Amino acid sequence: MEYEINAKRTLGGISPMIYGHFIEHFHRQIYDGIFDPENQLSDGDGFRTDIIEAMKRIRVPIMRWPGGCFVSSYHWRDGVGAVRQPAFDKAWRVEDPNTFGTDEFIKLCRKIGCEPYICTNAGTGTAEEMSDWVEYCNLDNEGKNAKLRIANGYSRPYRVRYWSIGNENYGAWEIGAKSADEWGRLTAESAKMMKHVDPEIELSAAALADINWNVNLLRSCGQYLDWISVHQYWDMMPEVNNPADYGACMAFTSNIGRAVDEVRGILTAMRLEKKIKIAFDEWNLRSWHHPNVHTVVQGKRREDYITPRDKNDDNSTYTMADAVFSACFLNEMIRNCDIVGMANFAPILNTRGCIYSYRDGIVLRGTYYVFMLFTEFMNGEAVDVWGDGEPELMEVTSKSSRRVSVRTVDIAAARTADGGVSVSLVNKHPTDEKTVTLRLPGVFGRAVMYTLNGDSVDSYNDVGREEINVTEREAGDVNGTVSVELDAHSVNILRISKA
């Protein structure tokens, strides 16, 4: 297969925030996850230092919090101050001790070195409660909310730049679900008040690839918005925990950019594509498993809807399929970098995250290494890649037993700030190695290939088991062209340093 990469044909700047993450008050993401004061591995603030170090190694640029469905009945005042009252979390139907709140979240982001991104309660919340939260975080000392932060011991404002109005308020499963018309009105009033508090903030609002919802939202609130929020999970398992196999996961790559294309079309039709960017602020190949919650079935016992959440912790679920899919997703975001400015892996820790934690340590799942490679090498300016002739296709069977043709190889490229070129090359084929020749006019230098892989498509990492890892090899000199071998089911970064 031959491709041409013209380092002069740029598609746009790659925002570091497309390698962002999300953490929610769900199962063991916060409590018994990152926030575990009793654990010997935790620091004086109660945060797991091993997890923070792992987050720093993948250069987390931005962290979205506190939800997700959780936020749609969350009241931020319950989570600040010396005395925290536990609250019943009506989304996930457990008690939240509220010992982790806004101040702890900001501390966490400072320790990681990432931007905080706060999603507000547009379910049971009001425009006033959302804008009061902005006061608490961003005003120096004007008004009772800034003074409350000072009284809590935090004299300097947090200057939280990124805020989202609501979560998935379009969905019947969401507490405080709204109609399109209701949503347009609420977001407009909330956005107005939040920007009156701090005109410097950047605002997103929950959206989806639905023209009616988005047109209402953008007509009512487009003047205030800087982002439009999109979520997607492909291997849907909320009720039944039956992970798709490798072939079915590759089938999901056939439409990986569809939501971006649809939202881009709506923004363009409304002449907003230069003003509003897409924040793909929840994505993961695998949806979270939490049966009997979104479908509130009466008469269910706790063991019917709490205990099954532990199944998300089965590390054998997260194979090369997750790593290959995630690399294809990030390639798609790179190719759409002119309109996608943020993406948040949902979540970063436990559940379907790239890091799994247990009492005595952590496991780095395959997707962790995708972020390690992409944050190190796939930055700068995205450059155009095109193949000669028709792309090679492979036939796979989808989770719904349909035969689907997908491209065997997925490639994206970047011209980095140091004048080098990085090429992300994914070979989705389950068994066959692929040879790819890249024509790179005007590019000369030394190439190194970083390959993320395991012995089989079903390789995975677990406690005491490291089957997926990154290897590095010299790939020779590049004089305007280079040929590389891509192992089966592998994620590769070809790094060409300028001669």
- Of these, 96, 115, 129, 168, which contacts ligand AHR (CB under 6 A)? 168
Least distance to ligand AHR from the beta carbon of 173, Å? 7
Is residue 282 flagged as an active site residue?
Answer: yes
- Of these, 117, 213, 288, 318, which contacts ligand AHR (CB under 6 A)? 288
What is the C-alpha separation between 192 and 180, in angstroms, rounded? 18
- Of these, 69, 197, 396, 447, which contacts ligand AHR (CB under 6 A)? 69
- Identify the three-state secondary structure at position 259: helix
State the DSSP string of 103-140: HHHHHHHHHHT-EEEEEE--SS--HHHHHHHHHHHH-S
8 A C-beta contact, residue 411 and residue 331: yes
Q: Which is nearer to ligand AHR, 27 or 335 (CB)?
A: 27
Catalytic residue among 168, 174, 189, 332: 168
Is residue 2 flagged as an active site residue?
Answer: no
- Of these, 15, 73, 145, 167, which contacts ligand AHR (CB under 6 A)? 167
Least distance to ligand AHR from the beta carbon of 33, Å? 15
Instruction: Indicate the residue whose CB is closest to ligand AHR.
Output: 68
Vertex 427 angle, CA 421 and 428, to 5°: 140
Least distance to ligand AHR from the beta carbon of 448, Å? 38
CA atoms within 13 A on the CB side of 47: 20
- Of these, 67, 125, 166, 247, which contacts ligand AHR (CB under 6 A)? 67
What is the C-alpha separation between 419 and 196, in angstroms, rounded? 42
- Of these, 61, 66, 68, 184, which contacts ligand AHR (CB under 6 A)? 68
Question: Please, is 85 exposed, middle or buried when counting C-beta atoms within 10 Å of its C-beta (0-12, 13-18, 19+)?
Answer: exposed
What is the C-alpha separation between 436 and 225, in angstroms, rounded? 42
What is the C-alpha separation between 331 and 411, in angstroms, rounded? 7
Least distance to ligand AHR from the beta carbon of 20, Å? 15
The footprint of ligand AHR on residues 224-243 (CB under 6 A) is 231
Q: Which two three-digit tokens encode residue 360?
A: 């005595």
8 A C-beta contact, residue 103 and residue 80: yes
- For position 287 contacting ligand AHR by CB under 6 A, the verdict is yes
Task: Write the binding mask 255 to 284 for ligand AHR: x where contact by CB under 6 A, - elsewhere.
Answer: ---------------------------x--
Which residues belong to the active site? Answer: 168, 282
Residues that bind ligand AHR (CB under 6 A): 24, 67-69, 167-168, 231, 282, 287-288
